[in-house]
């Protein structure tokens, strides 16, 4: 069950982060924009699930690239919250800001890898 929640959170994080690239794919229908608008209030929850479960699953040293992408997505979605964490908050904000230019790449890569995992195809760790 927790793996399913992790995959759903990663798909939603991928949509939120990769919306600029995904918007070009759907043309006039605004399919991805409509989804992103509905997901905006849940950004913190989605980012927290991706970050927290990404760290949890990374500790098993399986699927390292996939979990690293989930952690990066969580950091990118939680930039506004990270500064409130005592002692390590400033460091996490710096990491998040360094990842910001790669936001769309992280989002689309995470979305693709997660959809492939739902189909049972495990590529690149």
Digitized pLDDT (tens) for each residue of the chain, 125 residues in all: 999 999 999 999 999 999 888 888 777 788 888 888 999 999 999 999 999 999 999 998 888 999 999 999 999 999 888 888 888 888 888 888 899 999 999 999 999 999 999 888 877 65
- pLDDT of 38: 93
Instruction: Kindly report the pTM of this predicted structure.
Output: 0.89
- pLDDT of 31: 86
Residues 120 and 82: their CA atoms lie apart, in Å, by 33
What angle do the packed helices 31-39 and 2-17 form, to 10 degrees?
A: 120
């Amino acid at each position: 069950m927790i793996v399913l929640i992790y995959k759903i959170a990663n798909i939603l994080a991928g949509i939120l982060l990769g919306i600029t690239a995904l918007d070009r794919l759907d043309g006039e229908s605004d399919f991805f924009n409509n989804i992103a608008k509905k997901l905006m209030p849940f950004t913190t929850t989605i980012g927290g699930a991706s970050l927290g479960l990404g760290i949890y699953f990374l500790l098993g040293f399986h699927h390292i690239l996939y979990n690293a992408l989930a952690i990066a997505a969580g950091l990118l979605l939680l930039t506004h919250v990270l500064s409130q964490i005592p002692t390590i908050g400033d460091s996490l904000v710096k990491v998040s800001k360094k990842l910001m230019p790669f936001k769309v790449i992280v989002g689309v890569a995470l979305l693709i890898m997660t959809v492939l995992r739902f189909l049972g195809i495990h590529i690149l760790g």
